[in-house]
Chains A and B, each alone.
Chain A
Amino acid sequence: MLRNYFKIALKGLLRQKYYTFISLFGIIITLSVLTVSVALMNHATSMGKSGSRLDRCMIVNRIEARFKKGHIISYPSYYVLDQYVRNLKGPEAISIFSEAHEAVIYSENKRIPLKIKYTDDVFWDIAEFPFLEGMSFKKEAVDRAEMVAVITDRAGQNIFGTKPALGEYLETSKGTYRIIGIIPFREIRAIFLNADIFVPLTTSLGAMNSKELWGDEFALMQAADKSQFAPIKNEFQSHMEQLIKDHKDALQITSLDCFIGTMSESFMTEAGQSEIVTFLGIIGMMILFMLLPAVNLTTVNISRIMERFPEIGIRKAFGASSSTLMGQFIIENVILTLIGGLIAYILSWIALLLINASGVVPWGYIELDMKVFFYSMIVTVFFGIFSGVLPSYRMSRLHPAEALKGISR
């Protein structure tokens, strides 16, 4: 029976080429945009592949303080993270590292703007970046403030071209670093981990000595598993209360809010931080975006059915029930949307290749994984059913005589 429906569906689709084309076109662009957006969102809100150590990490990346006079939102400083976060008991491992700073490398009268990140040794344990050549710097190198650097393969190509970069020296305004390791840039997934050059935190002049609360640093905390997040957050809060107590007199802090959470939580608070209206606007646009092609598909489907009145009339006259016809039409529609979904998936794959090649997303490599495919398929089937229900309901209620005559209001 299902095979029969499939055959009828394909025949019908091929006969009404124009409507098939419109329907497919709408399905394909909607799904492509959705798939690409989901892939981008997925990329922006996850730190690492699921199951990796990064996947069970929380970050501390924002400190917000109110004073008797004024209000400051900033990244936390090394001082805060070192004194009040590093001594947390809950996490298995804690890494403190700086934001990526612009660092200009001058090479043969050419300026190469790159990003430099100051990290500790734990960073490499948590991030688990695969090394193409060489290795990361260890605890002793960080303690002794050795001038060594790990760079990405892309940065190596930008500076040295085809020459081997390992063992070469980097001239920055902060001094000369020796390259001891090379990692593939496309393995860096989270925006917080993104940089072209990684050097020991201790070689940063300002960050270590400042006693300010705001600075340029983040903390990454690896928990044993995700259920540990809540207790770590509680412990963290008690440390923050201590921080207020310690600085109340000198800085006149009235309240202090330090963000701790997963990458996606951070992403949400960042979005909430800007005007809520803009956020609502984006959601409104997304709904509109889904609704417009869906309604278009529905109207096109109605027209498509009307073209087939004689066929429906004959089948009804020979005793086909309304529900059979309705089921048939919905199956036909789902088949159409599945074909569209498949094409859309290939198109999104091409689109992401182009996005990756264009360097619009400056870090890492966006991939279409099975999760994204799964989501877009759910959307696809929903789309197919949604746009098929109304027309097929209308059609199934037709009187055979009327349908045969081909009149409808």
Chain B
Amino acid sequence: MIRHIIKLIWNRKKSMSLLLIEIFLSFIVAFVVCDILISGMLNYFRPVGFDYKNLWDVRLEATKGESLGKMGAEDAAKYRLLISEIKSFPEVKEADFIIGNIPYGNMRFNNSFDYNGTSIYSGVSYVGDDYFKTMQMTLVEGRWFGPEDNAAVNEPIVIDETLKKRIFGDNRAIGEDIQDLTDSEQNQNGKKYNIIGVISTFRPRGELNEPEGELFMRQLWDDSSSIPYAAMVRVNEGTSVSFELQLQRRLSSLAPDINFRITPLSEARDFRLRDMAIAILTPMIIAVFLLFNVVLGLFGIFWQSISRRRGEIGLRRAMGADSRLIPFQIWGETIALGTLAILAGIPIVVNLAVLGVSKPIGSGIFFLSLVSAGGLIYLILTVCAIYPSLLAARIQPAEALHNE
């Protein structure tokens, strides 16, 4: 049967070739759609590693000091006063400064490290001891920073699960050392960091982004720290706008040379999700229209080709073919055509993955997208073939042959 169907397609290869190209292109579009949609959905339902509710981003825009320099005693005292002032409000549960990847912020802080000769690329944030409680993160292994780290020889760091998996796989990460790459290039004994804890995957860019790996370094917010970018502030449930104004005024009066910008994280999250949703939905809508257009086109073509093949089908029926089997034959032909197109499309799709446009081949998402894109094409072909093939089944052999 299959050989017979392939032979039928081969005999009409001229008219089939364009159809083949069309299904091939549709398959690629379907793959891209599935890829974006599936990875978007999976990311959205995965935890981000912190609780955005009742969390405020208090951005500090200071009159800038020395570039990449240290705070110095005067600034350190000022910032320590600021954070203790924030914490003294009864509405505030917990607060800490941060330099680096502020949740739902636009800035992105990355650095390269070195572990046993392999370089590791990761997001980096400099935070204090209270950051863990402020963000309500979850610990997987080891512990968060504490006063016991004050005397540490190698600077302590905490990494997230994604980064841990990337570097160590299933091996133990606690107690291992990594090196600063910029240092190790210059002299062999670069600065060492000791991993003391692993937290669950942390995605500061929010729900629609891939886990990228995050690394936290400890800051004491003293003379040797840099100037913080923001304070993350966890407030009590139901804290109102009037407190925001109150906080803003209090901080401005304490440090008039700093511009304070307070944004509830839920608001920043809405903005970010909306932006991302537009970036995802626009190509989706366009692709759906494209595929719909293809469905209409294929339907017309199948319909017309059935009416052109009345003679052939009539002959088949006259030779004793079961009228119930005719639709299956037509359907089989379309599916065989679709399979050929998909087989041709797979190398392209694999190339997309190799180039990094879609998810890597090994990941489940690639496989899932491939299968669902194939499924979608078969579904489209089936839908387009149903009505014309039912028409074909109704062809009366005598009538068809008479017309011939």
Residues of A at the B interface (CB closer than 8 Å) are: 18-19, 21-22, 25-26, 29, 33, 69-70, 101-104, 106, 109-111, 113, 173-174, 205-206, 209-210, 212-215, 251, 275, 277-278, 280-281, 284-285, 288-289, 291-293, 295-300, 302-303, 306-307, 360, 390, 408-409
CA distance A111 to B267 in the complex (A): 11
Structural contact, B14 and A210, CB atoms closer than 8 A: no
Known: A69-B182, A409-B14. A206 touches B62 (CB 8 A): yes
Known: A25-B293, A111-B244, A360-B278. A292 touches B259 (CB 8 A): no
Q: How large is the interface on B (under 10, 10 to 19, 20 to 34, 35 or more residues)?
A: 35 or more
Structural contact, A25 and B296, CB atoms closer than 8 A: yes
CA distance A104 to B268 in the complex (A): 14
Which residues of chain B are near A70, meaning CB under 8 Å?
68, 182
Contacting A at CB under 8 A, from B23-38, are 25-26, 28-29, 32
Q: Which of B28, B182, B257, B297 has the most CB of A within 10 A?
A: B297
Q: List 19 A-B contacts (CB under 8 A).
A: A19-B300, A22-B296, A22-B297, A22-B300, A103-B261, A104-B248, A106-B241, A109-B242, A205-B63, A206-B63, A206-B259, A277-B356, A278-B357, A291-B25, A292-B26, A298-B18, A303-B300, A306-B304, A306-B308
Further contacts, 19 of them, CB under 8 A, given A26-B297, A101-B61: A29-B290, A29-B293, A104-B261, A109-B240, A109-B242, A111-B241, A173-B260, A206-B64, A285-B32, A288-B29, A296-B293, A296-B294, A299-B297, A300-B297, A303-B300, A306-B304, A306-B308, A409-B14, A409-B15
Within the complex, the shortest CB–CB distance from B65 to chain A, in Å, comes to 8
Which residues of chain A are near B3, meaning CB under 8 Å?
none
CA distance A62 to B105 in the complex (A): 20
Within the complex, the shortest CB–CB distance from A19 to chain B, in Å, comes to 6
Which residues of chain A are near B15, meaning CB under 8 Å?
302, 409
Structural contact, B64 and A215, CB atoms closer than 8 A: yes
Which residues of chain B are near A101, meaning CB under 8 Å?
61, 259, 261
Structural contact, B293 and A26, CB atoms closer than 8 A: yes
* Interface residue B118 (Cβ < 8 Å from any Cβ of A): no
- Which 10 A-B pairs give the minimum distances between C-beta atoms? A206-B63, A281-B357, A296-B297, A22-B296, A303-B304, A29-B289, A26-B293, A292-B25, A210-B64, A295-B22
Within the complex, the shortest CB–CB distance from B287 to chain A, in Å, comes to 9
Within the complex, the shortest CB–CB distance from B13 to chain A, in Å, comes to 10
CA distance A300 to B11 in the complex (A): 20
Within the complex, the shortest CB–CB distance from B278 to chain A, in Å, comes to 6
CA distance A11 to B57 in the complex (A): 66
Within the complex, the shortest CB–CB distance from B77 to chain A, in Å, comes to 20
Within the complex, the shortest CB–CB distance from B256 to chain A, in Å, comes to 8
Structural contact, A277 and B25, CB atoms closer than 8 A: no
CA distance A102 to B357 in the complex (A): 34
Known: A104-B261, A111-B241, A306-B308. A209 touches B63 (CB 8 A): yes
Which residues of chain B are near A281, meaning CB under 8 Å?
352, 355, 357
Q: Which of B21, B263, B278, B296 contacts A102 (CB 8 A)?
A: B263
Within the complex, the shortest CB–CB distance from B310 to chain A, in Å, comes to 11
Which residues of chain B are near A113, meaning CB under 8 Å?
263, 267
Contacting A at CB under 8 A, from B274-314, are 278, 283, 286, 289-290, 293-294, 296-297, 300-301, 304-305, 308
Known: A173-B252, A206-B259. A214 touches B32 (CB 8 A): no
* Interface residue B67 (Cβ < 8 Å from any Cβ of A): yes
CA distance A323 to B267 in the complex (A): 65
Within the complex, the shortest CB–CB distance from B192 to chain A, in Å, comes to 17
* Interface residue B245 (Cβ < 8 Å from any Cβ of A): yes
CB nearest to A278 among chain B residues: B357
Which residues of chain B are near A277, meaning CB under 8 Å?
355-357
CA distance A98 to B68 in the complex (A): 22
Within the complex, the shortest CB–CB distance from A79 to chain B, in Å, comes to 10
CA distance A19 to B294 in the complex (A): 12
Within the complex, the shortest CB–CB distance from A21 to chain B, in Å, comes to 8
Known: A25-B293, A101-B259. A173 touches B248 (CB 8 A): yes
Structural contact, B25 and A18, CB atoms closer than 8 A: no
Which residues of chain A are near B61, meaning CB under 8 Å?
101, 206
* Interface residue B174 (Cβ < 8 Å from any Cβ of A): no
Within the complex, the shortest CB–CB distance from A354 to chain B, in Å, comes to 13
CB nearest to B311 among chain A residues: A407
Structural contact, B286 and A289, CB atoms closer than 8 A: yes
Which residues of chain B are near A111, meaning CB under 8 Å?
241, 244
Structural contact, B355 and A280, CB atoms closer than 8 A: yes
* Interface residue B386 (Cβ < 8 Å from any Cβ of A): no
CA distance A408 to B308 in the complex (A): 9
CA distance A104 to B248 in the complex (A): 10
Contact with A along B106-137 (1 / 0, CB 8 A): 00000000000000000000000000000000
Structural contact, A284 and B357, CB atoms closer than 8 A: yes
Which residues of chain A are near B278, meaning CB under 8 Å?
360
CB nearest to A277 among chain B residues: B356
CA distance A109 to B246 in the complex (A): 11
Structural contact, B182 and A293, CB atoms closer than 8 A: no
Q: Which of B28, B259, B286, B355 contacts A174 (CB 8 A)?
A: B259
* Interface residue B262 (Cβ < 8 Å from any Cβ of A): yes
* Interface residue B12 (Cβ < 8 Å from any Cβ of A): yes
* Interface residue B19 (Cβ < 8 Å from any Cβ of A): yes
Within the complex, the shortest CB–CB distance from A252 to chain B, in Å, comes to 11
CA distance A70 to B112 in the complex (A): 11
CA distance A360 to B279 in the complex (A): 11
Structural contact, B283 and A285, CB atoms closer than 8 A: yes
Within the complex, the shortest CB–CB distance from B311 to chain A, in Å, comes to 9
Contacting A at CB under 8 A, from B339-395, are 352, 355-357
Known: A22-B300, A101-B61, A299-B18. A292 touches B294 (CB 8 A): yes
CB nearest to B13 among chain A residues: A409
CA distance A131 to B23 in the complex (A): 55
CA distance A104 to B61 in the complex (A): 14
Contact with A along B53-71 (1 / 0, CB 8 A): 0000001011110011000
CB nearest to B296 among chain A residues: A22
Within the complex, the shortest CB–CB distance from B15 to chain A, in Å, comes to 7
CA distance A373 to B32 in the complex (A): 30
CA distance A299 to B20 in the complex (A): 10
Within the complex, the shortest CB–CB distance from B112 to chain A, in Å, comes to 11
Q: Which of B59, B182, B308 has the most CB of A within 10 A?
A: B308
Q: Which of B19, B67, B182, B297 contacts A213 (CB 8 A)?
A: B67
Q: Which of A26, A209, A288 contacts B25 (CB 8 A)?
A: A288
CA distance A319 to B211 in the complex (A): 70
Q: Which of B21, B59, B267, B290 has the most CB of A within 10 A?
A: B290
Which residues of chain A are near B296, meaning CB under 8 Å?
21-22, 25
CA distance A291 to B21 in the complex (A): 10
Within the complex, the shortest CB–CB distance from A288 to chain B, in Å, comes to 6
CA distance A298 to B305 in the complex (A): 15
Which residues of chain B are near A293, meaning CB under 8 Å?
290, 293
Structural contact, B67 and A173, CB atoms closer than 8 A: no
CA distance A303 to B356 in the complex (A): 39
CA distance A49 to B240 in the complex (A): 44
Within the complex, the shortest CB–CB distance from A329 to chain B, in Å, comes to 16
CA distance A29 to B294 in the complex (A): 12
CB nearest to B274 among chain A residues: A360
CB nearest to A26 among chain B residues: B293
CA distance A215 to B182 in the complex (A): 25
Q: Which of B25, B267, B305 has the most CB of A within 10 A?
A: B25
